[in-house]
Amino acid sequence: MLMQQLLNGIVVGSVYGLFALGFTLIFGVNHIMNMAHGTIFMWGAFAGLYAVTLFDVPFPVAVLIGALGGGLVSVILDWTAFRPLRKQGAPEFSSIVSSIGASLILLSLAQQLTATRVMRFPFDIFPIVAFNFFGLRIQLLQLVIIAIVVLMVVGLLYYLYRTSFGRQIRAVAVSEHTSKLLGINPTAINFQVFFISGALAGIAGVLIGIVFNSVHFMMGEPLLLRAFVVIILGGLGSIPGALIAGLLIGIIQTLTVAYLSAGLADALVFSTLFLVLLVRPTGLFGGASAVARVTRR
Amino acid sequence: MLTIENLSVSYKGIRALRGASLQVKKGEIFALIGPNGAGKSTLLNAASGIVPIAQGRIQLEGEVISGRAAHLIARSGLIQVPEGRRVIGPLTVAENLQLGRQASGVRGSDASDLDQVHSLFPILAERRNQLAGLLSGGQQQMLAIGRALMGRPRVLLLDEPSLGLAPVIIREVFDALIRLNKEGLTILLVEQNARLALETAANAAVIEQGRIVHQGEASALANDPVVADHYFGRATAA
């Protein structure tokens, strides 16, 4: 029973990690607290869902369309809400306000579109296959989700740390000013960062929509709140931190619901954050981002 | 090679440059000296496209580059080594050098560039896997210059390369610049250390309050009593 719940926690937690990864990426590179990340997640789920209900596409295509949808909304958000502020050299706080506004618009649009209904993926979107493994019941869907998350994280790390584009992204994260002097086009870099971030959120949206069998316009908001916990717990701007903290939060939440009460889940999640910050104010993996911030000036 | 005509720049209502003109010839080191706040860095940053220009024109080998985005100016071959080095601290030395390639744009770059930088500054080869932020000031300056060289500059702009460095390190950096110049690199050098700058350069200009007030051969400027009085910090017989 405990192992079963742990497994469920890992599955949910890895999707939280995926969501938080995009959030922390934008924070790390553009220093923006993107309050619209939850709505991007929701629009990614919508894109996947509509592709399935309208065009009857299979699961892998739905995930892909969720990624494209999330990435597209995220890039549009950057162009409309953040780029004008960057051009004026506005303080970082103004982008938070701008993202809250954008998030409200995206929420209302989704509410209008769906008439506030809760929608579902068709039951046959993913074949229900389960394996028994030492008394542990593992669903194929769970394995596929974990595989997708691992693939995405490895892919992102490879992109950031092993490619020329990734090097440029890390340079812009430290100083856009210096990057320009080196011939790096910050517009192209921001496009990539926002697209990747949105695509990760969109994939997470489709996966969560299928796992919890519900897609609705408010689905991203509780996740955004948890993403805050995840990235603060993991250390702002830290990629491994976001992932591990995501898993941790997923496990705590699942175990609380299973053994205590569903109402206590958020209380325990935030208590964990409180306790960790008492001991490590920069979060579990906060050291590296602190160095990045110092070099930035 | 690099022609700056009648350049004016305003910063929040303050005129930082008022119609500055200068010409850097192919293959020379040109020094721009002047007191703090005279507009030296503003001139470089305007040339690099970091600061918008109010008036004037900048040409690189006859091609007008003013008005282009900063990264495109770098890619056209006018590459700046900024004041305070500005290496990308959390990246390794090797990664910083790789970033520099970006500015080579369509002109392209290959493995020989890295070899040249390594032979100019062997310490960068030794420290290639170290984080750039952990290098000493002098090593960071060498990295910043090496990084700019990776972009195959047609004109190298240097903003206060001696700032905050020990005299022996300054010598090492300037010897490298002289060597690069002998190999054919055109350099525009901005310095507060006027004596050093005038010793190194062929031609020079003095900038004060956003205007070029003297211009000519560096040796002639060095012997000019007014310039010497103002910038060498020694009393001259009036």
Model confidence pLDDT, tens digit, residues A23-73: 999 998 988 999 999 999 999 999 999 999 999 999 999 999 999 999 999
Residues in chain A: 297
Model confidence pLDDT, tens digit, residues A189-226: 999 999 999 999 999 999 999 999 999 999 999 899 88
Establish if B146 belongs to a structural domain.
Answer: no
The tokens for A187 are 């517009």
Q: Which of A7-16, A226-235, B200-209 has the lowest mean pLDDT?
A: A226-235
Cβ separation A177–B103 shorter than 8 A: no
Residue span of the structural domain in which A259 resides? 2-290
Establish if B63 belongs to a structural domain.
Answer: yes
Using the Cβ of A295 and the Cβ atoms of chain B, whether some distance falls under 8 Å is answered with yes
The tokens for A249 are 């939060």
Task: Tell me the chain B residues in contact with residue A183 when contact means C-beta distances shorter than 8 Å.
Answer: 71, 74-75, 79, 102-105, 151
Establish if A27 belongs to a structural domain.
Answer: yes
Task: Tell me the chain B residues in contact with residue A169 when contact means C-beta distances shorter than 8 Å.
Answer: none
Largest CA distance in chain B: 56
Across the interface, of A181, A184, A295, the residue whose CB is closest to B133 is A295
Task: Tell me the chain A residues in contact with residue B99 when contact means C-beta distances shorter than 8 Å.
Answer: 167-168, 171, 179, 182, 184
Establish if A296 belongs to a structural domain.
Answer: no
CA-nearest residue of chain B to A180? Answer: B71
- Number of domains making up chain B: 1
Contact B194, B231 (CB under 8 A): yes
Establish if B144 belongs to a structural domain.
Answer: no
Establish if A196 belongs to a structural domain.
Answer: yes
DSSP-based three-state secondary structure for B197: helix
| Angle CA A185–A186–A187, to nearest 5 | 90
Across the interface, of B82, B95, B98, the residue whose CB is closest to A178 is B82
Across the interface, of A168, A177, A292, the residue whose CB is closest to B50 is A177
Q: Which pTM value belongs to this model?
A: 0.90
Task: Tell me the chain A residues in contact with residue B70 when contact means C-beta distances shorter than 8 Å.
Answer: 180-181
One-letter amino acid at B55 equals Q
Establish if B54 belongs to a structural domain.
Answer: yes
CATH number, residue B23? 3.40.50.300
CA-nearest residue of chain B to A288? Answer: B90
Most B CBs within 10 Å, among A182, A187, A189, A293, to test the B interface: A182
Q: Which residues of chain B have pLDDT under 50?
A: 235-238
DSSP-based three-state secondary structure for A34: coil
CATH number, residue A156? 1.10.3470
Task: Tell me the chain A residues in contact with residue B102 when contact means C-beta distances shorter than 8 Å.
Answer: 164, 168, 182-184
Establish if A295 belongs to a structural domain.
Answer: no
Burial of A166 per CB tally in 10 Å (0-12, 13-18, 19+): middle
Using the Cβ of A186 and the Cβ atoms of chain B, whether some distance falls under 8 Å is answered with yes
Query: B23: how many CB neighbours lie within 10 A of its CB?
Result: 14
- H helices within chain A, ranges in order? 2-30, 37-55, 59-77, 83-88, 92-114, 140-162, 164-174, 176-181, 186-211, 220-234, 239-259, 265-279, 287-296
Q: What is the pLDDT, as a whole number, of residue A296?
A: 40
Going by C-alpha positions, the residue among B96, B136, B133, B103 that lies closest to residue B117 is B96
- Number of domains making up chain A: 1
Cβ separation A295–B79 shorter than 8 A: no
The tokens for B166 are 């020990």
Going by C-alpha positions, the residue among B141, B132, B85, B76 that lies closest to residue B103 is B76
Using the Cβ of A291 and the Cβ atoms of chain B, whether some distance falls under 8 Å is answered with yes
Cβ separation B102–A186 shorter than 8 A: no
Establish if A32 belongs to a structural domain.
Answer: yes
Query: B170: how many CB neighbours lie within 10 A of its CB?
Result: 18
Q: What is the pLDDT, as a whole number, of residue A287?
A: 57
Q: Mean pLDDT over all residues of chain A?
A: 90
Q: What is the pLDDT, as a whole number, of residue B233?
A: 62
Cβ separation A180–B70 shorter than 8 A: yes
Model confidence pLDDT, tens digit, residues A149-194: 999 999 999 999 999 999 999 999 999 999 999 999 999 999 999 9
Q: What is the pLDDT, as a whole number, of residue B234?
A: 52
Establish if B185 belongs to a structural domain.
Answer: yes
Model confidence pLDDT, tens digit, residues A94-137: 999 999 999 999 999 999 999 989 999 998 888 889 898 888 88
Task: Tell me the chain B residues in contact with residue A171 when contact means C-beta distances shorter than 8 Å.
Answer: 88, 91, 99
Q: What is the pLDDT, as a whole number, of residue A45?
A: 97
Residue span of the structural domain in which B22 resides? 2-85+154-231
Q: What is the pLDDT, as a whole number, of residue A2?
A: 86
